Chains A and B, each alone.
Chain A
Amino acid sequence: MTESRQAVTSDVDAMRREEHDLVVVGGGPAGLGAAQAAYDEGVDDIVILERDFELGGILQQCVHPGFGLEYFEEELTGPEYAQEFIENVAERGVDIRLDTMVLEVTHDRTVYAVNDEDGVTEIDAEKVILAMGCRERTRDALDIPGSRPAGIFTAGTAQRLINMEGKLPGEKAVILGSGDVGLIMARHMHLEGAEVEAVLEIMPYTGGITRNVVQCLEDFDIPLRTQQTITEIHGNDRVEGVTVQEVDDDFEPIPGTEYEIECDTVLLSVGLIPENELSVDAGVELHSVTGGPIVDETRETNVEDIYACGNVLHVHDVVDWVTEESMIAGRSAARSLQDRVETRKEPIEIESTAKLRYVVPDRISTIDPDREEIPLYMRVHAPMEDVFVTLSSGGEELTRTFERRAEPGEMVTLNVDSDTLAELPEPRLELDVVQREEA
């Protein structure tokens, strides 16, 4: 990024300068939802900056159904879901700039963006919403020993190759990681004519939803092997095989359990990381667990007037929640622009016990008379059955929700009534998970 910044400073006189009420970085479902909600709240000077040649983000490569059940109450594919929102922003006349890469966002909300047509543009924004999505963890983040032959892909790269470019990454594949992206890719590879030898999962349980285990693996007799991982990749020019080993409860390979699988392709589906280089440069503070910004209930970060939503904030498994969250960000940014919200004298801190991996938001810092409830998004550490998620303040329980089955892969939502917040014993909310018997 240093190179581009030099270009910015040396070319400063020739630079285009603009001012806008709201700049949205990224035109995936999060950016689209945020722009739409801000517009509907009465802000019409909105620009979306998107580096790709089209809007829609990662959804354009997710051609399988399973999207929209919450939001549209209808099962859509990724592109169908995206197209709804693309049409919505187009109808509203939002200024959309494609093939436009954001290079930098400063803490006082100057946005530098570049494209072929205009060169570098400097935009002074009243509000910035970060919606850059996430990227996939790669082999480097995993540290698998062995040679570095061709044929190792992240599952998302393989998905893009097959669905948008029509290229099959290989003929005989092993998939490492059983999150939803890995499972979906197992089915895709199989249906496109490749053999999927196995899906390996280091955890004792899959990271994906049941439906995908059934329809992507069991339908085609693809084996799912839990508590196993790849300990070595073989091959010189192209992958020729992998060594697989069972792991113990501390994820250490168990000696003597090694076996080999012959394959020409390894797909890695080992996690997503929020894409926050721009945020960090702007001075945005990140959460140690989510890898995304620390935000309040409006999705504003520690840097005033900079908001974040979607996968850049925390990795979502279901896009419908991305839409809900981005609409909160867009609406909140708009209301704040119109001076319709009041800042609390003291923010309400949200804390959770060790059973929860994380909670978004981190605090509640505004009073908004038009807001009836605030959703809290959280994830559990390990699968649990028949539990209540409880919300208390100063030892007094305020509300609870029952979960028949809570999985790390599926976000739990608890809504807090705005009225409840008016009379808290202390400016602190505590989330806990309790078994039904204890409760």
Chain B
Amino acid sequence: MTETVSITCIRCPIGCDIELEVEDGEILSLEGADCIQGEEYAREEFRNPTRVLPTTVRVTGGVLPYVPVKTAEPIPKGKLEAAVEELATVEVEAPVELGDVIVENICDTGVAIVATRDLPAAEEGPVAAD
């Protein structure tokens, strides 16, 4: 049975609405993209949609109680929630440097979680994460 899937291209601000006709997971036709990049995007987005996940993890002894992190590469969209859950259990110690690997392999994706800023240690009493 053929079905129609619509995907909005986000490769550029124009945001073309692309319609895919698919059958059994195969793309039969593709319409609405203004350029070749959009067609590529729609194919990828249909087969394996991925996203960079930005979030935060707990820090002890830092000038702030949380440090921002992201996945070093995009991960499958379906794993975003699981990744956030796994990161909720992680705690690192200040100082943290931009680019530090916080988790090596998040949710078995093979992708690392890295810090996205320097977070110095607090000079006086540490700020508690609650």
A: which residues have CB within 8 A of B? 53-54, 60, 63-65, 75-80, 82-83, 162-167, 191-193, 209-211, 213-215, 218-219, 404-405, 407, 410
Contact = CB atoms under 8 A, between A and B. Distances in A.
A162 B56 contact: yes
What is the predominant secondary structure among interface residues of chain B facing chain A? loop
Interface in B38-85: 51-56, 58, 63-66, 68, 70, 77, 80-81, 84
Contacts, number: 79
Given A80-B117, A166-B129, A214 B56 contact: no
Nearest to B129: A166
5 cross-chain pairs, A with B, having the tightest CB-CB distances, nearest first:
A210-B15, A79-B117, A63-B68, A211-B10, A64-B54
A80 B69 CA distance: 10
B14 interface: yes
Contacts of B66: 163-166
A80 to B, nearest CB: 5
26 contacts: A54-B63, A60-B117, A63-B54, A63-B70, A64-B54, A65-B54, A75-B52, A77-B70, A79-B98, A79-B116, A80-B116, A80-B117, A163-B68, A164-B66, A165-B64, A166-B130, A167-B130, A191-B80, A210-B10, A210-B13, A214-B8, A215-B10, A219-B51, A404-B14, A405-B14, A407-B13
A210 B117 CA distance: 27
A213 B117 CA distance: 26
Given A165-B65, A404-B14, A405-B14, A77 B56 contact: no
Contacts of A75: 52
Nearest to B49: A219
B63 A63 contact: no
A169 B22 CA distance: 41
Contacts of B129: 166
B3 interface: no
A77 B116 contact: yes
B31 interface: no
A63 B55 contact: yes
